[in-house]
Amino acid sequence: MSIVTNLILHFSIGEDQGARIKDVNSFRYRDIQLNLVSVDFNKDMEKGYSWYGGTKFLETPLYIGAFNHFDLRGFVDHLKKIRWEKPQCVQVIVKEQDDEKFRIIELG
C-alpha cells in the first residue's frame, strides 16, 4: 500500500544552489537516496521554453518530489544539520497522503 508524501523545497536565492541540493539529496530513507529535482530541470533559455506556465522563468530555487513511506521528521532533522547561508529562508511545503492541503514547515 502506498503512503505518498508530496514535497516542495524552497531556499534563498543567495545559497550555492548546486551545493545545497547535493546536501539535501544526501538524505536516505528506507535505504532509498532522496532525489528532489529542480522545477527548472527542463527549461530552454534560448527558446524561452519551460514546462510550467507563465511568461517568465522562475527566479527562485524550487525543488519537488513525491515519495512513498517518507520519513518527514528525519528529513526535517537532516535539513537542520545543513550549513545554510540563510536557514530562515528554508521552507518545506508538504502534503501527506490523507492531507486536504499543503502545510509549510519553516526551518529558521
For residue 45, pLDDT over 70 is answered with no
Q: What confidence tens digit (pLDDT) does each residue in 47-66 have?
A: 777 777 787 778 899 999 99
- The owner of cell 530513507 is 29
Query: Band of the pLDDT at 26, cuts 50, 70, 90?
Result: very high
Which residue range(s) make up the domain with 102? 4-106
This model's pTM is above 0.85: yes
Count of structural domains, the chain: 1
What is the length of the chain?
108
